[in-house]
Amino acid sequence: MKMTTWIRSGLLTVLGCAVGLGSAEARVKMVALPERAATVIRLDNPSATLIEEERVLTLQKGVNQVDFSWNGVSIDPDSIRLKVLNHPDQVTLLNVSYPPNEAALVWEISSAEPVEERVRISYLLANIDRLITYRFLANKPETQVDFKSYLVLRNFSGEDFGTSRVQLDYGEAFEQAIGHEETKQLLFLDAGKVPITKVWEFDANQLPWDPEKVEGNVGIPVSYQIENKEASGLGKNALWGGKVRVFQDDGHGSTIVLGEDSAALVPVGEKMKVNIGDSRDIKVVQRKMKEERINLRKNVNDQVVLYDTDEIIKTTLENFKDSPAVLTVIEYIPGQWDMVECNLKYEKKNSEKIEFQVALNPKEKKELMMHYQRRNLR
Amino acid sequence: MRRKIGSPISMIRRGCCLVLLLILPVQAKMDLVTLPKRDGVQVTIYNSADLTLVRETRELTLQKGINRLQFSWANTLIDPTSLEMLPKAHADKLAIEDLTYPPRTQNLGIWTIKSQVSGKVPVEITYLTSGLDWRAFYMGTLSGDEKTMRLEGYVRVGNRSGEDYEDAQVRLIVGQVHLLDQIAELAQRQYPYGAPAGFGFRAKGDSDVRERKDEMNKVEEAEVSAVSGYMMLTDAAAAPKEIIKEGLSEYFLYTIEGKETIPNEWAKRLPSLGPFDVPVVNLYKYEEEQYGAGVVRFLSFTNDEAHKLGQTPIPDGMLRVFRTADEVGHLSYEGQSEFKYIPVNEKVELNLGGVENVVVTPTLMNFKTENFTFDSDRNVSGWDEVKTFKIEVKNTRPVAVKVEIQRNIPGVKWDLNPDGDCGLYEKVDLDTVKFTLELPPRSQKEFKYTVREYQGKRAE
């Protein structure tokens, strides 16, 4: 993209006396470039970035016209505001005009006296935003992570920003300069050691029941859970959503990559769940051993109009690891049902979803038998 | 033409480059202070994804105050968002202020380091790259009686990253890593973190990616001739290296002893497992729905101490099986099997493909229907189907074999009665049964079973 010097140098505020506001060519511009000062980039709203900048205008007594143009920069024109800071009782914004075929506007400002007036201009600017990324380093026993979060500033607005105050949702504003098409990565939050819980999860609706019959390796998804609470060294603010990369200390002064995931926003008190990969050392094989119709109810033509089913599901859970694991097993029984017998304790999560927490010792194999009856099927 | 390994020209021509810049406050001019060399490098290569973690150590000469360090990686496949620098000394006196990806400049990052010390400081720079890979493969040699298999495992490490890795510590990761993005795609982005959705730039598009892939394909073609030359160079150098294996989280880490040089576009084979003489079972399976009308041969063993294994999981790969054919050690090729990851203590069955020297023939010998029921209109509402099958099993081989026959029975309700020498009979699930027989060399067996399938009202 080719840019002229004055456009690249920033939004151009032109102070001058305009002789009428006819066509663009007919407008006379007397250039006096007030220096931009006290620029604030507000990134507290993830969908739009608000820029606030202060400039000193040299106003004559009477009506002044101030030209503000933004060629090559994506400003929402309806969002532009002007606030008089020094003499609000003497300086009044009369009206705003938009010249034809130009990315510009003209403020008509009345001043009671000749004055150097500081004003604050604010506007919504597109294509400048921030991302959040996380980098966790787990210890070897996988009980805690070094929790670091980075702020990534991306500026593709067409505008170069010199040293500006950058304000996020929370925390102190900080100073940063960022040019057009520049990306900057800054350490944003270093929470130190944060405890984690490692979770293995078999979901009967998501994973194959017999891994042997599937081409390729089948693994059990493994996640780390982090609670956004004070006891974890967090809990002061919500954790923004972003990409999480997880590494692990290998015990030899180096690290390995465990995996990466995309975290959603985590309010205070909630848990962040980061899927790091699949375990091939925990194996789940599930088989339906029985499915019979029972309690048949018939109409006058001896046709079955209502029945129950008697079903048995056998699930084999095997830990090939040298370390223990607590496996979450999620099972689904649709419709109305009663559990006749189940050899392991479960928690009903909703009408058709039940969850088991099965502790497996190293090299241990367990069997889960569910005998249930589904009711009133037609 | 084969390039000389370690040629300094190659390092200048492409690859990562680290430059320390000193900002002189008055002129705001950037001066080149030093070009710190890479003191050491470690590569950790994954096989479930195109992912390698690189860890470099370099010694920087820092000034008190603000230092800027430029890191560039033209013609490599480095993910710029993964770059990280860690001081290995004076960590409390050094602050990494930011990492800037300058505008209109690709493959370049500048760290701002605020230092309270001046002088030499060792740092570690880590990043993720694409283009290095490894895979496992195996060779098995069956003994004459086919009761044991001499198992040897290898890994083949390849480098198409665009970067030469000289005297690198090479580590390999076995396991399934979860990634959101392909590292190769991140490496080829125009902007490291992309741009906001509304920004109308022409991203480095499909055509560029295609060009890159074409280049990669060319590299692959060129690889064959290059490898032979390189292996000749190293064969005379030393004895085979040991691979140290250890478990980490859900992964296994293989660390290759000593240092390796893997120039760009080269590959290297290293022994990784055995040789072990593993007791095996010759297993033959018949299941029409799964394998069709023929018998499929498997080799069965367990990854445990009883089978001379069990130290570590066995990474997935291709096993080529040979058999000792005569007393002077000539070989015959038996087949091959692409197998999945084998955890410690798991029993595996390696599929070697269909055979004709073990035959299973099921024949329907008798069929009848009975026990009809009728509804109020005198229409048939239920009945039983009774089928008698004869199963003939022939082992024409000169060795003993184990044969598993699985039969799937349609319908929701049925009874089955075996008759004769059917071996071990078991119900696998609600519609599958299994017969397991042991057959001596050159022998045959025959048994029958009768299945009663309940239809319509009879199934209620």
pLDDT band at B15 (very low <50, low <70, confident <90, very high): low
Q: How far apart are CA B142 and CA B99, in angstroms?
A: 57
Q: How far apart are CA B360 and CA A171, in angstroms?
A: 75
pLDDT over 50 at B209, yes or no: no
Chain B residues whose CB is inside 8 A of the A142 CB are: 249
pLDDT band at B30 (very low <50, low <70, confident <90, very high): very low
State whether residue B67 is helix, strand or coil.
strand
Chain B residues whose CB is inside 8 A of the A156 CB are: 191, 195-196, 199, 201
pLDDT over 50 at B33, yes or no: no
Per-domain boundaries in chain A: 5-125, 283-377
The alpha carbon of residue B81 is apart from the nearest alpha carbon of chain A, in Å, by 9
Q: What percent of chain B shows pLDDT beyond 90? A: 40
Mutate which: B50, B66, B199, vs A, most A CBs within 10 A: B199
The alpha carbon of residue A25 is apart from the nearest alpha carbon of chain B, in Å, by 28
The DSSP call for residue B2 is P
pLDDT band at B233 (very low <50, low <70, confident <90, very high): very low
Chain-chain contact of B55 with A278 (C-beta, under 8 angstroms): no
Quickly tell me which residue has 């202070």 as its tokens: B33
Q: Which residue of A has its CA nearest to B190?
A: A181
Question: Residue A62 pairs with which residues in a beta bridge?
Answer: A111
Among the residue ranges A55-64, A70-79, B319-328, the one predicted with the least confidence is B319-328
Q: Which CATH architecture has domain B358-459?
A: Sandwich (2.60)
pLDDT over 70 at A20, yes or no: no
The alpha carbon of residue A121 is apart from the nearest alpha carbon of chain B, in Å, by 23
Quickly tell me which residue has 């071996």 as its tokens: B423
Chain-chain contact of A154 with B175 (C-beta, under 8 angstroms): no
Phi, psi of A165 (to 5 degrees): -85, 125
- Looking at residue B308, its pLDDT comes to 86
- The answer to whether B134 and B260 are in contact (CB under 8 A) is no
* pLDDT mean over B313-317: 89
- Looking at residue B24, its pLDDT comes to 41
The alpha carbon of residue B231 is apart from the nearest alpha carbon of chain A, in Å, by 29
Q: Which residue of B has its CA nearest to A125?
A: B198
- Looking at residue B16, its pLDDT comes to 61
- Looking at residue B40, its pLDDT comes to 87
pTM over 0.80: no
- Looking at residue B239, its pLDDT comes to 62
Nearest CA-CA partner of A333 in A345, A348, A344, A315: A348
Q: How much is the ipTM here?
A: 0.75
- Looking at residue B412, its pLDDT comes to 77
pLDDT in tens, B103-115: 988 888 999 999 9
* pLDDT mean over A247-276: 93
Chain B residues whose CB is inside 8 A of the A290 CB are: 430
pLDDT band at A245 (very low <50, low <70, confident <90, very high): very high
Among the residue ranges A40-49, B46-55, B247-256, the one predicted with the least confidence is A40-49
pLDDT over 90 at B23, yes or no: no
Mutate which: A76, A223, A254, vs B, most B CBs within 10 A: A254
A&B contacts, CB < 8 Å: 176
Q: How far apart are CA A321 and CA B313, in angstroms?
A: 10
Chain-chain contact of B195 with A288 (C-beta, under 8 angstroms): no
* pLDDT mean over B293-297: 92
Q: Which CATH architecture has domain B8-39+55-129?
A: Sandwich (2.60)
Chain-chain contact of B178 with A280 (C-beta, under 8 angstroms): no
pLDDT band at B183 (very low <50, low <70, confident <90, very high): very high
The 3-class secondary structure across chain A, one letter per residue, is CCCCHHHHCCCEEEEECCCCCCCCCCCCCCCCCCCEEEEEEECCCCCCEEEEEEEEEEECCEEEEEEEECCCCCECHHHCEEEECCCCCCEEEEEEECCCCCCEEEEEEEECCCEEEEEEEEEEECCEEEEEEEEEEECCCCCEEEEEEEEEEEECCCCCEEEEEEECCCCCCEEEEECCCEEEEEEEEEEEEEECEEEEEEECCCCCCCHHHCCCCCCEEEEEEEECCHHHCCCCCCECCEEEEEEEECCCCCEEEEEEEEECCECCCCEEEEEEEEECCEEEEEEEEEEEEEEEEECCCCCEEEEEEEEEEEEEEEECCCCCEEEEEEEECCCCEEEEEECCCEEEEECCEEEEEEEECCCCEEEEEEEEEEEEEC
pLDDT band at B257 (very low <50, low <70, confident <90, very high): confident
Q: How far apart are CA B227 and CA B7, in angstroms?
A: 18
Per-domain boundaries in chain B: 8-39+55-129, 132-190+200-275, 358-459
Chain A residues whose CB is inside 8 A of the B51 CB are: 257
- Looking at residue B198, its pLDDT comes to 74
Cross-chain CB nearest to B198 (options A74, A288, A304): A74
Chain A residues whose CB is inside 8 A of the B106 CB are: none
* pLDDT mean over B336-358: 88
Q: How far apart are CA A169 and CA A189, in angstroms?
A: 13
Angle at A228 between CA A224 and CA A234, to 5 degrees: 110
* pLDDT mean over A62-66: 90
Q: How far apart are CA A116 and CA A57, in angstroms?
A: 6
- Looking at residue B14, its pLDDT comes to 47
- Looking at residue B398, its pLDDT comes to 85
Q: How far apart are CA A207 and CA A252, in angstroms?
A: 35
Q: Which CATH architecture has domain A5-125?
A: Sandwich (2.60)
Q: Is the dihedral of CA A51, A53, A58, A59 positive or negative?
A: positive
Chain-chain contact of A184 with B100 (C-beta, under 8 angstroms): yes
Chain B residues whose CB is inside 8 A of the A127 CB are: 195-196, 198-199
Q: Which CATH class is domain A283-377?
A: mainly beta
Q: Which residue of B has its CA nearest to A211?
A: B340
Q: Which residue of A has its CA nearest to B110?
A: A184
pLDDT band at B224 (very low <50, low <70, confident <90, very high): very low
Chain-chain contact of B381 with A302 (C-beta, under 8 angstroms): yes
* pLDDT mean over B165-174: 90
Of A47-56, A292-301, B430-439, highest mean pLDDT: B430-439
- Looking at residue B371, its pLDDT comes to 94
- Looking at residue B17, its pLDDT comes to 63
Same fold, A5-125 and A283-377: yes
- Looking at residue B429, its pLDDT comes to 87
Q: What percent of chain A shows pLDDT beyond 70? A: 91
* pLDDT mean over A154-170: 89
The alpha carbon of residue A1 is apart from the nearest alpha carbon of chain B, in Å, by 9
- Looking at residue A10, its pLDDT comes to 39
pLDDT in tens, B117-155: 999 899 999 999 999 999 999 989 998 888 899 999 988
Q: Which residue of B has its CA nearest to A224?
A: B249
Q: Which residue of A has its CA nearest to B303?
A: A320
pLDDT in tens, B80-93: 999 999 998 888 89
Chain-chain contact of A289 with B429 (C-beta, under 8 angstroms): yes
pLDDT band at A46 (very low <50, low <70, confident <90, very high): confident
pLDDT in tens, B316-334: 899 988 888 777 777 878 8
